[in-house]
Amino acid sequence: MSEERPSGRKKYLIGRLWKYLSRHGFLIAAAMLCMLSGNILALWGPKLSGSAIDAMGAGGGSVDFPRVFYYVGLMAAFYVASGILSYILSLLMIRLSRKVIYRMRKDVFDRLSVLPVGFFDKYQTGDIISVISYDIDTVNQSFSNDLLQVLQSAVIVVFSLVMMLTIAPVLVLVFAVTIPLSVVFTLFITKRVRPLFRKRSKKLGELNGFVEEMIGGQKTTKAYGREKEVVSRFDVKNREAVDAYNKAEYYGTLTGPSVNFINNISMVLVSVFGALTYLNGGIGLGDISSFVQYSRKFSGPINEVANIIGELQSAFAAAERVFRLIDELPEKPDAQTARVLNDIYGDVCAENVSFGYTPEKPVIRDFSMHAEKGSLVAIVGPTGAGKTTIVNLLMRFYDADSGSIRVDGKDIYNVTRSSLRGAYSMVLQDTWLFHGTIFDNIAYGKENATMEEVVRAAKAAKIHDYIVSLPEGYQTVLSDNGVNISKGQKQLLTIARAMMLDCRMLILDEATSNVDTRTEKQIQEAMRELMKDKTCFVIAHRLSTVQNADNILVIRGGRIEEQGKHDELIAKGGFYSKLYYAQFETY
Amino acid sequence: MRDIMKYIRPFFGYISVTLTIKFIASVAELLIPSLLAYIIDDVVPTGEASGVFIWGGVMALCAVTALLGNVIANRMAAKSAGGITEHIRHDLFSKITFLSSSQLDGFTVPSAVSRLTTDTYNLNQLFARMQRIGVRGPILLIGGIAVTLVMDPGLTLVMIATLPLIALLVYFVTVKSVPMYTKQQGILDSMVRVVQENITGARVIKALSKTEYERKRYDRVNNDLADMEQRVGSVMAVTNPGSTLILNIGLTLVVAVGAFRMDAGLTSPGVIIAFINYFTIILNAMLGVTRIFVMWSKGQASAKRIAQVLGAPEELTEQPGGGTEDESHIRFDNVSFSYEKAGDNLSHVSFSVGRGQTLGIIGATGSGKSTIVNLLMRFYDADTGRIFIGGRDIRTIPAKELRGKFGVVFQNDFLFADTIRENIRYFRDISESSLEEAARTAGAAEFIESVGGMDYRLSARGNNLSGGQKQRLLIARALAADPEILILDDASSALDYRTDACLRRELASRLEGTTKVIVAQRVSSLKGADLILVLEGGKTAGWGTHSQLMQSCPIYREIAESQMGTAGEVDFDE
């Protein structure tokens, strides 16, 4: 999809969008039918009113009432029928767009759910959400409205032209002037306006970004008394946004008046030539009336298409973003030969594992370790040394570039992902809770969990007392702005969640970093219970947590610098002992 | 809207010119069908082709006038709308920047942001469109009716009879659809929340193999949303075919009634033809006017939200009063405070710290540590009790002077999309050498070097840095202006022990004269402090040096032992 071949890209997008529509062939056919018949009925109106006027003669008692009423009756019938048809058409289109938008949102979400976690590390949540809400909406709006409009315009133009030709072929020559005029104008305006509108959106986006950042950091600004400076920064962005707006509007506002102008000019020409033709006896007054009405209808859509082209442009851009997301590569599917990992014993072993998030920047190099069943492995090291990466590899959130990892002697690349991940329970530093009751949040990992089980887990995590102190107890709904729940309490809930699971292996990634030390001490018993008989991987800043480990891996710059028991490492006087003593330093 | 008027007032002259031009253009446009009628009824019967050309020329002139007038007026409208919006945005942004913390808590940050972005944008659109169609619509509507009344009052009455029907239709559709829109917005919010949760919780969901469950959860909201959209759409879909139908029926009636009047010699064919043309103009104007109402009500909602912020009273004003000599630098005198004014977050806290000393604050989550920082910097005013800096009640110190004393790193402090230099400088007037010095002291110099120097651009919220790197930059920011008081609120939690220890060493040696307030969860970060305040549930649970507290304060001892191992300092502290 390179820039040089925009037409190829557009074709490709239309093809993919068509796939969403073509599933509903019946709906589309019905809509087409309604659209055609509704429009043609409505378009018959001017012709009929013209005939009615002709039937009135020159007035003053010469009116042929039966004929007039015949035409008036037909007009009313045609208009009512066309009104009903166009309402049905709207309903059909709404139904169609409901199906398409549902499908598209589903496709995006389904893809999101199989994407590797690395994707979410790379992209901002706001970006992804704007695809699923705003972009899909834009595409849908455009394709249900604009597409219809284009087709409708085509019908109107063709029909009006035919009618005008039957009424007065000579007068049609007028459009030999106005049509080229509108085409030239349309080309001119779209070419000018498109980059200007793009810039306008960009500048507005920048302004909004700045606002979001600076209001979020308002306290910091106040702390340094920099309100005035920040406001003057804002003014610059504000100015730019307004300038871009004005520039875009400068050309953008040409469209409306110009459309009207071209309409008016057609009318002038039709009047003049119509009158001249009438003088020569070539045409009736009713004909002029119908002709003028058709000419208005005829020139309207041609200019409208110019507007629609602009809208389609933004719809294409949105569709591109939607499809780019749908096309993201999912996690590699499980190997054909992958088996389900069951009857787990809990022996984990890594050999010569190397890995980098990007090929040019390896994070883990030649990493080996062996964790026996029920042992406690601690992973320590400075920030950014690769501790969390090891967890990512163990649980196959990422696949290693080389080397092998085995659970109970089975290569983890040869078992199903879900069974591998199911073998671990996990408590992470960032406390993830969802909008739902406390009960649901704790029971999340275990299907059909009973209240007793949940309460037992909550008690063990020392969060039960807090929960029952809430008016709704376990049925309290956790929401962003509802209950005031602290970070530490959130963490205890995630610990309770992990306690619900019965796994042979456990990963604690800074699991108690948000819990203050006193509470941590209180839940130590529970943590010990949680860790009992399990092979545990513990990442921690606080060295007190890791002192009892069977094996401490000291990671530095992606390699294991040292490994061994606490006492051995202290005695060795290496990097670990330096880290350890640093905490007792008084300045 | 009334509060917004004062922004429009300076543009009154300009807008009046715009509207006058618009008026002329609209009148010119309005004349065209009349001229057509005149040609057919009065010029054609004379049989003179030259008359046709002359009046045709007049019509063309009207068309050109309409074009020029409309284009000029539209451009002017865009310009004044942009100008008005620029002023509103400026005032709104600076108001929000100056809001007190409790006021901003009240509005919430996302809402403040959306008022500045979405709502000002709505107003901008409103101002521009109101000038564009706000004049043209009514003029065409009233003018069209006036002209037709002159031409043939009888037929005009037939036409006018249909207008209330259209208004009624639009009114009912609006009344019915607005609450549905609100509901739809709510469902959309839930959908966004599910997606958000799935993104932030990707690891947990995968680890627990809940992908299928989440898909179902999403499918439910997706279905609800699609259903609601369909329902709203079906209601809205009545408007267009409905009003077109009403109009066309009116048109049919005009032709029918016209026949009788023709028969009675009351009207002429040219009039009926012109009438049909006016009818279309009036219909479009009518639709335009109803659209203005919708826009106006939407704009009004936005104007209200903006005015709410602009009208927020000024809080935390400075009070008169002098200072007394005081040997302590910071003094809390029996201070109590509650954020929600129910249940104290801090109660009866007193302490004092001398110039150049280090105060450590420790305690459980929610024990009131950050509240002390908030009160000391006067983001909030204490409910009872007083706080002194250098012997002066902080409420008597001008905000600028007060805040100028501090260098601070908040819990969850923020970095923004700009260069590292600008992030440390933070819009202050600080020399390059001081910036570098601050970066060195904060232990940030090394990594700044490795990413390519002070000109390295951070992405939004500094997401291209690790947690530890971010904290070091924030500390550098706090140090850069050589503050009188340095506050670090849990500012080294992402640093490992070694880096943390280095930092403490640097602070001790380079900032001797600075009073330091360090809030932390690790005892090791505070051990060397001159005085340590232990908080528990907003109350003072201990006060003294590390060794005193180890003796006297059971909570402190418990924290220390749990962190350093039971063997603790006896074995390792040498």
In a domain, B136, yes or no: yes
Q: Check whether A481 has a pLDDT greater than 50.
A: no
pLDDT of residue B428: 84
Structural domain count of chain B: 2
**Per-residue confidence band for B566, with pLDDT thresholds at 50, 70 and 90:** very low
In a domain, B117, yes or no: yes
pLDDT of residue B562: 66
Residues of B with Cβ-Cβ distance to A57 under 8 angstroms: 262
pLDDT of residue A517: 65
In a domain, A23, yes or no: yes
CA nearest neighbour of B475 among B438, B516, B523, B432? B438
**Per-residue confidence band for B570, with pLDDT thresholds at 50, 70 and 90:** very low
Which residues 133-152 of B have a C-beta within 8 angstroms of A?
Answer: none
CA nearest neighbour of B292 among B106, B491, B487, B129? B129
Average pLDDT for A377-396: 78
* CA quadruple B453, B456, B461, B466: dihedral sign: negative
CA nearest neighbour of B252 among A325, A71, A182, A435? A71
A361 HSE (CA, 13 A, CB side): 6
Q: Which helix (H) or strand (E) holds B532?
A: strand B531-536
Residue A69: which domain range? 7-157
B554 inside 8 A of chain A by CB: no
In a domain, B483, yes or no: yes
Percent over 90 (pLDDT), chain B: 9
> How far is C-alpha A444 from the chain's CA centre?
25
**Per-residue confidence band for A269, with pLDDT thresholds at 50, 70 and 90:** confident
Position with higher pLDDT, A59 vs A265: A265
In a domain, B318, yes or no: no
Q: What residues contact residue A232 under an 8 Å CB cut-off, 6+ apart?
A: none
pLDDT of residue B500: 79
Residues of B with Cβ-Cβ distance to A214 under 8 angstroms: 97, 416
Contact A246 B234 (CB under 8 A): no
**Per-residue confidence band for B220, with pLDDT thresholds at 50, 70 and 90:** very high
CA nearest neighbour of B154 among B243, B280, B260? B260
CA B223 to CA A454: how far, in whole Å?
A: 31
CA nearest neighbour of B290 among B147, B163, B122? B163
Contact B222 A102 (CB under 8 A): yes
Number of CB pairs < 8 Å for A and B? 488
Residue B365: which domain range? 328-572
**Per-residue confidence band for B64, with pLDDT thresholds at 50, 70 and 90:** very high
Q: Check whether B93 has a pLDDT greater than 70.
A: yes
Give the tens place of pLDDT for each residue, B430-489: 899 989 999 988 888 888 888 888 898 887 667 677 777 888 899 999 888 888 999 988
User: Average pLDDT, whole number, for chain B?
Assistant: 82
**Per-residue confidence band for A250, with pLDDT thresholds at 50, 70 and 90:** confident
Residue that is last in its domain, among B277, B310, B343: B310
- Do residues B360 and B531 touch, judged by C-beta distance below 8 A? yes
Q: Cα separations (Å) of A445 from A426, A454, B40, B206?
A: 11, 11, 83, 11
Note the pTM of the prediction, 2 decimals: 0.68
Q: What residues contact residue A282 under an 8 Å CB cut-off, 6+ apart?
A: A168, A170
Q: Check whether B298 has a pLDDT greater than 70.
A: no
In a domain, A321, yes or no: no
Chain B, nearest residue to A70 by Cα: B256
Question: The tokens of B337 are what?
Answer: 């405070």
Q: What residues contact residue A166 under an 8 Å CB cut-off, 6+ apart?
A: none
CATH code for position B43: 1.20.1560.10
A138-147, A315-324, B125-134: which range is least confident on average? A138-147
Average pLDDT for A350-366: 80
Torsion angles phi and psi, residue B501, rounded to 5: -65, -40
pLDDT of residue A58: 64
Chain A, nearest residue to B504 by Cα: A587
- B350 and B290 assigned to the same domain: no
pLDDT of residue A107: 92
Q: What is the DSSP string of B73-117?
A: HHHHHHHHHHHHHHHHHHHHHHHHHHS-HHHHHHH-HHHHHHIII
* CA quadruple A473, A476, A478, A480: dihedral sign: negative
- B372 and B284 assigned to the same domain: no
A18-32, A250-264, B65-79: which range is least confident on average? A250-264
Position with higher pLDDT, A363 vs A48: A48
Question: A380-401 burial, b if ≥16 CB within 10 A, otherwise e?
Answer: bbbbbbbbbbbbbbbbbbbebe
Residues of B with Cβ-Cβ distance to A222 under 8 angstroms: 97, 101, 379, 403
Chain A, nearest residue to B525 by Cα: A583
CA A128 to CA A105: how far, in whole Å?
A: 12
Give the tens place of pLDDT for each residue, A67-89: 888 988 998 999 899 999 989 98
Residue type, A97: S
pLDDT of residue A514: 62
**Per-residue confidence band for A305, with pLDDT thresholds at 50, 70 and 90:** low
In a domain, A407, yes or no: no
Contact B197 A580 (CB under 8 A): no
In a domain, B237, yes or no: no
Structural domain count of chain A: 2
A161-175, A475-489, B105-119, B387-401: which range is least confident on average? A475-489
Best of B123, B497, B561 to mutate (most A CBs within 10 Å, chain A): B497
How close does chain B come to A6, measured CA to CA in Å?
30
Question: The tokens of B137 are what?
Answer: 């619509």
**Per-residue confidence band for B360, with pLDDT thresholds at 50, 70 and 90:** very high
Contact A132 B39 (CB under 8 A): no
Q: Check whether A439 has a pLDDT greater than 90.
A: yes
- B493 and B563 assigned to the same domain: yes
CA nearest neighbour of B22 among B83, B90, B62, B73? B73
Residue that is last in its domain, among A133, A157, A181: A157
ipTM of the prediction:
0.77
- Do residues A347 and A410 touch, judged by C-beta distance below 8 A? no
A528 inside 8 A of chain B by CB: no
CATH code for position A113: 1.20.1560.10
Residue that is last in its domain, among A157, A189, A206: A157
In a domain, A313, yes or no: no
Q: Which helix (H) or strand (E) holds A64?
A: none
In a domain, B52, yes or no: yes
pLDDT of residue A313: 67
CATH code for position A461: 3.40.50.300
- B272 and B419 assigned to the same domain: no
Chain B, nearest residue to A103 by Cα: B222
Give the tens place of pLDDT for each residue, B142-173: 888 888 888 888 888 887 788 788 888 888 88
In a domain, A50, yes or no: yes
In a domain, A479, yes or no: yes
CA B311 to CA B554: how far, in whole Å?
A: 50
Q: Check whether B571 has a pLDDT greater than 50.
A: no
How close does chain A come to B23, measured CA to CA in Å?
14
DSSP type of residue A415: B
A6-10, A404-408, B277-281, B288-292: which range is least confident on average? A6-10
**Per-residue confidence band for A582, with pLDDT thresholds at 50, 70 and 90:** low
CA B335 to CA A33: how far, in whole Å?
A: 77
CA A415 to CA A338: how far, in whole Å?
A: 4
Average pLDDT for B493-513: 79
A3-7, A55-59, A446-450, B319-323: which range is least confident on average? A3-7
In a domain, B190, yes or no: no
Start-end of H helices in B152-268 = 153-200, 202-207, 211-236, 239-263
Q: Check whether A409 has a pLDDT greater than 90.
A: no
Specify which residues A411 forms β-bridges with.
A406
Rg (Cα) of chain B, in Å, rounded? 36
Q: Check whether B224 has a pLDDT greater than 90.
A: yes
In a domain, B217, yes or no: no
- B434 and B466 assigned to the same domain: yes
How close does chain B come to A5, measured CA to CA in Å?
31
Q: Check whether A126 has a pLDDT greater than 70.
A: no
SS3 content of chain B, % helix, strand, coil (to 5): 70, 10, 20
Specify which residues A562 forms β-bridges with.
A554
Average pLDDT for B366-386: 85
> 3-class SS at A26?
helix
In a domain, A474, yes or no: yes
- B493 and B346 assigned to the same domain: yes
Average pLDDT for A437-462: 88
Question: The tokens of A17 are what?
Answer: 């969008």
Order of all β-strands in the sheet with B392-393: B346-354, B328-337, B384-389, B392-393
pLDDT of residue A383: 59
Residue that is last in its domain, among B241, B275, B310: B310
Q: Check whether A530 has a pLDDT greater than 70.
A: yes
Position with higher pLDDT, A565 vs A530: A565
Residues of B with Cβ-Cβ distance to A115 under 8 angstroms: 202
**Per-residue confidence band for A579, with pLDDT thresholds at 50, 70 and 90:** confident
Residues of A with Cβ-Cβ distance to B227 under 8 angstroms: 98
pLDDT of residue A3: 36
In a domain, A95, yes or no: yes
- Do residues A275 and B38 touch, judged by C-beta distance below 8 A? no
Contact A395 B86 (CB under 8 A): no
CA A436 to CA B540: how far, in whole Å?
A: 36
Contact B497 A279 (CB under 8 A): no
